[in-house]
Amino acid sequence: MRVFLTGATGFIGSHIVPELLAAGHEVLGMTRSERGAEALKAAGATVHHAALEDLDSIRAGAAQADAVIHTAFDHDFSRFVENCEKERRIIGALGEELKGSNRPLIITSGVGIGEQEHGAPAIETVFNTAHRKPAHRLRRGRKRRAGSRRGCARHVASPGARRRQARPHQPVCRHLPGEGRCRLCRRRRHRYSAAHVGDVAKLYALALDKGRHGERYNAVAEEGVPMRRIAEVIGAGLGLPVKSVTPEEAKAHFGWFAMFAGFDLPALSDLTRQPLGWTPVGPGLIEDLQRMNYAVPA
């Protein structure tokens, strides 16, 4: 198949490209920069120049493809609500272009919306639009991938399109330079599901080849890694002590990330692994963080 991939040079997308090519697909990768275009050419993909604001060009990319995988997102958090509306328009445009055909559209969401009740692991069969997690996505950390939040267009249906949904999620501990300590929000149960980006990319390729219309797939290798353990490993790597803070203190320390810092977000992937034959093999989050070279600036 010829696959139109948005976000093809991004954190997840750049790992999806080789997975699709190895599976025998042709990749039409979307990028807005010449540097991105060169990277796609070097990887063996065809380049489609477009920006997220250019819906006509995005539709044109989808029109040339047998399938679409959408991983792009504008991470300017100062314009977050506006970016979520932009996302809604993009998915709507892709859905309209694919409407009436058998061409699949794979969009990216987050595991939090699969939480049936507070504290229960998120599962694929749940679509909880009342989830307390506000609309948002992150991509940070080494060889890990992101989560998504309620209200973001990654959770809206694409009318008429044969839609499938991949749900990745990633924890992050944010250290502010000069603070002298690594902090975590004080909470009795505070966990994040996780998976290595290589495993996540493989899941997207499997969802394309083996996935079914309307299904959701949780890109989760580890059900719930404690936030305290994450902070301890990062603190050790930076040579800093770890301190618990109250939710009020977390707002001042973490900034926009404070809304993540207090959540308990475990997730399961049994209903993803069995039908797709997905077996994560990458290192766990803690192992990956322990391997990281903390002496190298980001």
Report the pLDDT value the prediction gives residue 144, as an integer from 0 to 100.
30
Span 146-163, average pLDDT: 40
pLDDT digits (tens, 9 = 90+) for 76-126: 867 778 988 999 999 999 999 999 999 999 999 878 888 888 778 999 999
% of the chain at pLDDT higher than 90: 58
pLDDT greater than 60 at residue 252: yes
Please tell me the distance from the alpha carbon of residue 14 to that of residue 39, in angstroms, as a whole number: 9
Span 1-12, average pLDDT: 96
pLDDT greater than 70 at residue 40: yes
Number of helices (H) and strands (E) in the chain: give both, helices first: 10, 11
**HSE-CB for 252 with a 13 A CA cutoff:** 5
pTM of this prediction?
A: 0.83
Cα torsion angle, 176, 171, 165, 67, sign: positive
* pLDDT bucket at 169, cuts 50 / 70 / 90: low
Q: Which of 230, 225, 298 is nearest to 267 (CA)?
A: 225
Q: Which of 58, 42, 81, 98 is nearest to 256 (CA)?
A: 81
pLDDT greater than 80 at residue 241: yes
Cβ distance 257 to 174 under 8 Å?
yes
Which of 10-19, 73-82, 189-198, 249-258 ranks highest by mean pLDDT?
10-19
Cα 153 → chain centroid: 13
**Element spanning 111, H or E:** none
Report the pLDDT value the prediction gives residue 135, as an integer from 0 to 100.
41
* pLDDT bucket at 183, cuts 50 / 70 / 90: low
Kindly give, in sequence order, each residue whose CB lies less than 8 Å from that of residue 107, ignoring residues fewer than 6 positions away: 70, 91, 154, 158, 163, 164, 165, 166
